[in-house]
Structure 1
Amino acid sequence: MLRRTRPLIIALALGGSLALPAAAGQTAARPETARDGAAQQTAALPDQLGSIDLKRPAIVSADVVTLGDLFTGLSAEQAGTPIARSPKLGESVPVDAAWLGLLAQHYKVAWQPRSHLDGTVVEHQAIVIGVPEVQDAVTKLLDDESNGEKLEVTVDNPSLSIALPLDSDGRFGLEGLRRDDRSGRFTVTLVYPETGQPTIRMPISGRAVQLVEVPVLLRRVADNEIISSGDVGWETRRADRLGSNLLTDPKDIIGLSPKRSLRAGEPVRAGDLRPPVLVERNSLVTMRLKAANMVLTAQGRALDDGGQGSVVRVVNLKSNTIVQATVAEAGVVDVGGTAQAALN
């Protein structure tokens, strides 16, 4: 994994280490004339071009770049010719067509760029310890100490990166973990290698936040619908972003209706729900009065919406009297004894 790129300043000066030497009796080409020289050489070597190709990208794993790192089709002796120091571990350096042409000319490589786009990038491969690896390691360490508490770990430095040679095992350790339970802030020291004398010690800081499972709606539910068990699922959320009055038991959600339309994936709060509407405003209802040995009924019109147990206003269609009634079931309301006259 390669993280950074530096611009090329002089001829294939990987890390500023190489300037093309002039052959005997020659003067080294200046950068501003390199492209012209490359074009002239292309015409001078028509029979040799084509068997050698440029590597894109040019991957190196050693501290020195060789001709074989840049070109294919070279003899073993020519391929092993060292030409520059490699970029730093995990870094890359772009190399343009003009300077590659000068390099090929100097080392008698039968290759020339066909255009100014015929460049490459020299990449020094490395094992990179980055943010994901560190966050996973801190999470595991905290999990071992948190008695099953689920945590989400975030380090403060989003560009954290440690490049190691490819022949290393890449294993690192963490020492001196400290965490504030109230804020979730933690500090720890990364050490490499994991065992033995450390060559790298890096302080790491960040935050570990508790994760909780909460019931959420699996689909959009309109304000006139009743939430069923199939409408509710579970999602993992950060505890610090949930707010108050969140319902954590599906039993407190199923069978109720939203006061407003609720989106899929949205946690539900107590204030979002109400009993299902069994009596709608302006709908016809049966007004019922229960006595000891009889039940009196009359027809009325609801003046309010109401769920089971809600008190709504109802107007008797015969007498035009308005009374308070309790919603008993869909389309049925009960009136009290003092409202008996309202049934007449």
Structure 2
Amino acid sequence: MKSLLLLVVFPFAAQADSLVATRTLRAETILAPADMMLVAQAIPGALEDPSLALGQEARVTLYAGRPIRAADIGPPAIVDRNQIVALHYAGGGLSILTEGRALARGGVGDVIRVMNLASRSTVSGRIGAGGEVSVGAMGAMP
């Protein structure tokens, strides 16, 4: 006698927690524990772990009760728009250090555009931990 395997699939999705804002937060606000809470609802794209958002900066306005998505937050900005920054190029045994003007705000690891003050040319570079911007082979690579 042959045995029959019966597989029952329930149409209910597994419940997951989603992270939402507890109040309206303006862009450039650093997220604190009181600014977010977990709700027992699976919201597509929403973060599920509060530790991923804690201490991060809101890149856009976050509205109360709305989900906090990874694209809505990022590392706190350490470079402001129009700030003078050290511009560093290293590649092929050559190292150049000069000054530039940041054309955008950004945090560690962000790629921003910077105007070289000596040549007035615009380059893209990655912000380092000390606020310097690295350009070239290793600096602006995503």
TM-score range normalised by the length of the shorter chain? 0.5 to 0.7
Letter aligned with residue 117 of structure 2: L
Residue 37 (structure 2) aligns with: 233
| SS of equivalent residue, structure 1 residue 329 | coil
Q: State the alpha-carbon separation in 2 of the partners of residues 331 and 217 from structure 1.
A: 29
CA-CA distance at 1:232 after TM superposition: 3.0
| Displacement of 1:183 | 5.8
Pairs within 5 Å for 1:1-344 = 181-182=10-11, 212-234=16-38, 236-237=39-40, 239=41, 242-289=42-89, 296-329=96-129, 331-336=131-136
Structure 1, 259-268 or 210-219: larger mean CA deviation: 210-219
- 1:31-57 Cα distance to aligned partner (Å, 9 max, x none): xxxxxxxxxxxxxxxxxxxxxxxxxxx
**C-alpha contact 2:21 2:35 (8 A) present in aligned 1:** yes
Per-residue CA deviation, residues 8-50 of structure 1 (Å, 9 max, x unaligned), is: xxxxxxxxxxxxxxxxxxxxxxxxxxxxxxxxxxxxxxxxxxx
Check conservation: 1:284, 1:331, Cα contact below 8 A: no
TM-score, normalised by the number of residues in structure 2: 0.66
Per-residue Cα deviation, 1:245-273 (whole angstroms, up to 9, x for no partner) = 12111122223222321123433123322
- What 5-or-longer segments of structure 1 have no aligned partner? 1-179, 185-209, 340-344
| Structure with greater Cα Rg | 1
TM-score, length basis structure 1 = 0.32
Offset of 1:330 from its aligned partner? Answer: 5.8
Q: 1:93: which partner in 2?
A: none
Give, in whole Å, the separation in 2 of the partners of 1:212 and 1:280: 37
3-state SS of 1:286 partner: strand
Q: 1:227 is aligned with what amino acid? A: L
Q: Structure 1 residues 269, 311: CA separation in 2 closer, same or farther (over 3 Å shift)? A: closer
Question: Structure 1, residues 222-250: CA drift from partner, whole Å, max 9, x if none?
Answer: 2112223453333x44x3xx441121111
Structure 2 stretches lacking a partner, 5+ long: 1-8
Q: 2:18, 2:43 within 8 Å by CA — same for their partners in 1?
A: no
- Structure 1 residues 310, 212: closer, same or farther in 2, change over 3 A? closer
Compute the RMSD of aligned alpha carbons. 3.6
Q: Paired residues, what number?
A: 131
Of stretches 308-317 and 223-232 in structure 1, the one that deviates more from structure 2 is: 223-232
| In structure 1, C-alpha distance between the alignment counterparts of 2:137 and 2:16, rounded to whole Å | 50
Contact 2:20 2:65 in 1 (8 A): yes
